Amino acid sequence: MKGLILAGGKGTRLLPATKVINKHMVPILNKPMIMYPLNTLKSIGITNIMIVSGGGHIGGIAEFLGDGADFGVNLTYRVQREAGGIGQALGLAKDFVGNDSVAVILGDNIFGDISYIKIPEGVGTEGAYFLFSKVKDSRRFGVPVFEKSTGLLDLIRIDEKPENPQNDFAVTGFYIYPPDVFSVVETLKPSARGEMEITDVNNFYINKKKCAYSFFDGFWSDSGTVESLMEVTNWAYNLQNKDTVS
């Protein structure tokens, strides 16, 4: 399985810090943000990884991480020349992934330990895989919708940033796809905001009943806003100092 870190976007919600550096190089304690998704992929045994970022700041990421050897991984880079959305960024990895499956993680998503998650058989060869997490305000995220008669058993679609979400779960920024995902990406049309949406990719697999999912009860947050960055920083500090005797 290949790994893909999507580290594009303008980071406008973290201005002015992101005026001259990529959002994913903003520090969380003493590590750039991008180190956290990199370590998440490593924790599940993925070491052959591509990073996709915008042309303006990808140099800073590449200068820091290099070829990945210092971090125990093998890194490849690809430039997303326009802000075409997560779906478009995923499509840039087609040649890199080839006939393998691919684990995709958004570069601002910070997870606790996901290595204990048992990924169902067939994921990555026949279907997709998603992680859901309970949040305080699911309106900010993609929200999984389940068949009412079966509770949380039957996933029927994902609503992107709904005004009136049907539950308090969010789709996290971690996905696993089979190699045919790139055929799906090629059929995408821009949304109302002019981007190729990853939610459309996910709904394709849901509609085909070729997906699996888990509920993640560990720490998870994006870190793309001032508030969420503070939350992540506090979590990282407490984790780093959990063995300190006060």
Question: Which domain CATH number covers 145?
Answer: 3.90.550.10
Q: Measured on CA atoms in the order 28, 136, 111, 122, is the torsion positive or negative?
A: negative
**What Å distances lie between residue 177 and 79, 92, 112, 123, CA to CA?**
21, 14, 21, 7
The tally of CA atoms less than 13 A away on the side-chain side of residue 65 is: 29
Whether residue 177 is contained in a domain is answered as: yes
Indicate whether 24 belongs to any domain: yes
Query: Are the C-beta atoms of residues 114 and 174 closer than 8 Å to each other?
Result: yes
Is the Cβ–Cβ distance between 11 and 19 less than 8 Å? no
Assigned domain for 191 exists: yes
Looking at the 3D structure of the chain, how many domains does it have? 1
- The residue among 131 and 26 whose pLDDT is bigger is 131
Asked, for residue 114, whether it belongs to a domain, the answer is: yes
246 lies in some domain: no
Tell me the per-residue pLDDT of 167-225, one tens digit each, with 9 for 90 and over.
999 999 999 999 999 998 888 887 777 677 889 999 999 999 999 999 999 999 988 88
Domain of 64 in residue numbering reads as: 2-240
Tokens of 232: 């992540």
Does a structural domain hold residue 95?
yes
**Any domain includes 200:** yes
Q: Is residue 245 part of a domain?
A: no
> For residue 97, what pLDDT is reported?
93
Token pair for 85: 């959305």
Handedness of CA 220, 226, 227, 232 (dihedral sign): positive
71-119 confidence digits (pLDDT tens): 999 999 998 877 667 888 888 899 999 999 999 999 999 999 888 888 7
